[in-house]
Amino acid sequence: MAAIRLQRFLAQAGVASRRKSEELITLGRVKVNGKVVTELGSKVDPARDKVSVGGRQLAAEEPVYVLFHKPKGYVTTLSDPEGRPTVMELLKTVKERLFPVGRLDFNTEGVLFLTNDGELAHGLMHPKGEVEKTYHVKLRGRVDDAALKSLARGVTLDDGSKTAPAGVARIGETDKNTWIELTLHEGKNRQVHRMAEAVGHQVLKLERVRYAGLVLGSLKAGSYRRLVAREVDELYRVAGLRKRPRRRGD
């Protein structure tokens, strides 16, 4: 394997984005073959050099990109201090180390993207990226047109902040409940629930049906599939990144 820049190696090892990796290097947190390296232009040979961060030796993994249908009743973290089940328990057959890109609440189901590509993850989660996320939301009560227009324009949340304009459409209704489709370009904490509360409604069910262009299709709850090359290329485009690391077989 040819020599690559140290910050790129760190990103491919899932440590952080390239920019964050550069900070770790300049802070003297990275060692190559036992010696601290602070020069950003430094290169390493992943097949020969030993790289460590904070005393932990790293290995460059093949980049892995997974689309997962998260079911209700799981948290989207690697571990949980409350002992709740995590999505990682349903992904034990994936040998590579993965981490979720963004979060879904314990009782929210739907599209979840996981990877070990730190640079892509950072690009998708950065607020400036405004990655599109679409939800189907079941709300208690009948939601009138005025409430839908408020959600579309942006509403003031419980902490005084205002949401950005959103895509909103009514997709189903009964005497007791209303289903809406909500498309966001931001990711505030529990944003959908708080937006609903701002217009006087309670979320009864929440499903994320699209994330950065990814949709579940026929993927059943609790199941996953690996993305194909064109899907990963599109994620890189959405994240505003120029190139992705190529996998063997691409």
- Distance CA(74)–CA(77), nearest Å, equals 9
Of the CA atoms within 13 Å of residue 77, those in its CB half-sphere come to: 10
pLDDT one-digit tens code per residue, 207-222: 999 999 999 999 999 9
Predicted pLDDT of residue 3: 78
Catalytic positions, written as ranges: 105
Residues of the chain with pLDDT under 70: 1-2, 59-61, 243-250
Measure Cα distances from 7 to 22, 31, 51, 131, 142 in Å: 6, 12, 11, 25, 52
The whole-number pLDDT of residue 244 equals 62
Dump pLDDT digits (tens) for 106-163. Answer: 999 999 999 988 778 888 988 777 899 999 999 999 999 999 999 999 999 999 999 9
Give the number of C-alpha atoms closer than 13 A to the C-alpha of residue 9, restricted to the C-beta side: 29
pLDDT at res. 1: 47
* pLDDT computed for residue 101 by the predictor: 93
Pairing of strands 65-70, 109-115: antiparallel
Side chain identity, residue 142: R
Q: What domains does the chain contain, in order, with CATH numbers?
A: 4-58 (3.10.290.10), 65-128+213-238 (3.30.70.580), 132-211 (3.30.70.1560)
What torsion do the CA atoms of 135, 139, 145, 146 make, to the nearest 10 degrees? -100
Instruction: Give the predicted TM-score (pTM) of the model.
Output: 0.79
Kindly write down the DSSP assignment for every residue of 99-154, as one continuous string: EESS---TT-EEEEEEES-HHHHHHHHSGGG---EEEEEEEESPPPHHHHHHHHH-
Are 148 and 154 spatial neighbours (Cβ–Cβ below 8 Å)? no
Query: What local confidence, expressed as pLDDT, does residue 238 receive?
Result: 93
